Amino acid sequence: MTTMFNIATFHGDGIGPEIMVPTVKILRQMADASDDYALTFTDTPAGAAHYAKTGDALPETSMQIARSSDAILLSAMGLPDVRYDDGTEISPQIDLRKALTLFAGVRPVTVRAGQHTPLRMPPGHQIDFVLIRESTEGLFHTQGRGEVTKDEARETLLITRDISEKLFRFAFDLAKTRKDAGRGKGRVTCVDKANVFRAFAFFREMFDAEAANHPDINADHAYVDATALWMVQKPWDFDVMVTENMFGDILSDLGAGLMGGLGLAPSADIGLDHAVFQPCHGSAPDIAGQGLANPFAMILSAAMMLDWLGIKHANAAMRTDGTRLREAVEAVVASGDILTRDLGGIYGTDDAAGAVLDALSIA
Ligand code: ATP
Ligand code: MG
């Protein structure tokens, strides 16, 4: 039976459309070759250029398309010289995160053979962990609303039972999915600062309670400062890491650094009903319009989307295609033949995306 999924596509700004178009082309070809699922795509206007044109960065009609879709694929958004009147950045992805309660920011960090990394990797090791960043509260709770007087500034750290329980359930489910797929180590690490802050002792309490429901998964704790050290010294030891919003913000950039930059870093923001998939990098206005953008982070985000839909709707073919797509990108990177300039190659966006299609060898 063919199940139909509707994908809301935000083409975004700068290189956004340039990497979205070949990504949708790949997804279409995979879906067309499958008897088990079909995909439709609805282009959804939003972003900085749209704001400059219409005065609205995320129109209500686009919000509605996003809300009623099965998944949201979002390309890079924002432009340096287009801002709201109060000077803040235009980032509809953050509005979506709030409006759809996407509490789990999922940042996979992988370094495989052939991939550039600033670390010296011991033979036989590879990096393959997932950092989950709580994305709706924590130290971002008073974001933009902190209290500042002449002599004092205050922001609030908010940890709630409700969001923490959902977050940890998600983390343990992900560890189990990874373990069952033969990929993970069956480990979840709670990253916090429970030795100093009562809020993080509370965070840990909910983590430990969820851990008790998963005797098959190893649960442990780590302080955020030590975690930063270990992410550099022995990142191959991690499997699933789960942390507060600000800690996750910082550690996910460290993770991107391990991967040799943003060109291969996908991400997902996941809630109970909705999810947004997007590359970690920005809209790269310096190279926009030249066909030079690296599409791999966008394509890897699309692979995460297939994986998530496949798990949510128990569609094994979709999950298989998610894995195939990720492995196709990894194979192109490992061979090193057709890479964009940011990865040391000489090729453009369409060549790189074409190499992924070839690696998929869709009949
Ligand atoms: P944002 O604030 O939106 O995250 P940023 O200022 O961090 O944006 P990016 O837009 O991510 O910056 O770009 C940083 C650098 O990386 C730029 O030189 C850009 O050209 C390069 N870059 C980013 N994404 C890509 C990509 N997909 N392919 C090639 N180069 C990229
Ligand atoms: Mg940035």
Rounded Cα distance between 32 and 28, Å, is: 6
Average pLDDT over residues 293-305: 98
DSSP states along 12-54: -STTHHHHHHHHHHHHHHHHHT-SSEEEEEEE---SHHHHHHH
ipTM value, please give it.
Answer: 0.94
If you classify domain 102-149+158-271 with CATH, what class do you get? alpha beta
The pTM for the full model equals 0.94
Distance 150 CA to ligand 1 centre (A): 36
Non-local (6+) Cβ contacts of 94 within 8 A are none
Q: Is 286 in the pocket of ligand 1 (CB under 6 A)?
A: yes
Q: In sequence order, what are the residues at sequence separation of 6 or more whose Cβ sits closer than 8 angstroms to the Cβ of residue 13?
A: 47, 48, 49, 76, 77, 78, 79, 283, 285
Question: pLDDT category, 149, cuts 50, 70, 90?
Answer: very high
Q: Whose CA is nearest to atom 16 of ligand 1?
A: 284
- Give the number of other Cβ atoms within 10 Å of residue 298's Cβ: 31
Ligand 1 atom at minimum distance from 281 CA: 11
Of the pLDDT bands very low, low, confident and very high (cuts 50, 70, 90), residue 363 is low
- Structure-token match 């964009």, residue found: 340
Q: Which ligand lies nearest the alpha carbon of 253?
A: 2
Interstrand relation of 127-134 and 240-243 (parallel, antiparallel or unpaired): parallel
Cβ of 287 below 6 Å from ligand 1: yes
Ligand nearest to the CA of 294: 1
Average pLDDT over residues 146-170: 96
Structure confidence by residue, pLDDT tens digits, 262-288: 889 999 999 999 999 999 999 999 999
For 1-100+273-363, which CATH class?
A: alpha beta
Ligand 1 atom closest to the CA of 286, numbered from 1: 20
Residue with CA closest to ligand 1 atom 5: 282
Which ligand gives the minimal distance to the CA of 345? 1
| pLDDT class of 86 with cuts at 50, 70, 90 | confident
Which ligand has the minimum distance to the alpha carbon of residue 347?
A: 1
pLDDT at res. 262: 85
Residue whose structure tokens are 């962990």: 129
Alpha carbons 106 and 305: distance in angstroms, whole number:
12
Candidates 115, 112, 77; CA nearest to 263 is 115
Whether 266 is in the pocket of ligand 1, judged by its Cβ within 6 Å, is no
CB 342 less than 6 A from any atom of ligand 1: yes
283 lines ligand 1 (CB under 6 A): yes
Tens of pLDDT, residue by residue over 183-216, are 899 999 999 999 999 999 999 999 999 999 999 9
Percent residues over pLDDT 90 in the chain: 86
> Residues 6 or more apart from 215 whose CB is under 8 A from it?
none
Determine whether the shortest distance from the Cβ of 299 to ligand 1 is under 6 A.
Answer: no
Residue 144 has pLDDT above 80, yes or no: no
**Per-residue tokens: 17:** 């459309």
Strand partners, 260: none
Other C-beta atoms closer than 10 Å to the C-beta of 40 total 12
In whole angstroms, what separates CA 358 from the centre of its chain?
A: 25
Hey, CA dihedral for 14, 19, 21, 23, is it positive or negative? Answer: negative
Per-residue pLDDT reduced to its tens digit, 212-265: 999 999 999 999 999 999 999 999 999 999 999 999 999 999 999 999 878 899
Residues of the chain with CATH 3.40.718.10: 1-100+273-363, 102-149+158-271
Q: Is 262 in the pocket of ligand 1 (CB under 6 A)?
A: yes
- Owner of token pair 């070949």: 22
Q: Which of 11, 155, 132 is nearest to 73 (CA)?
A: 11
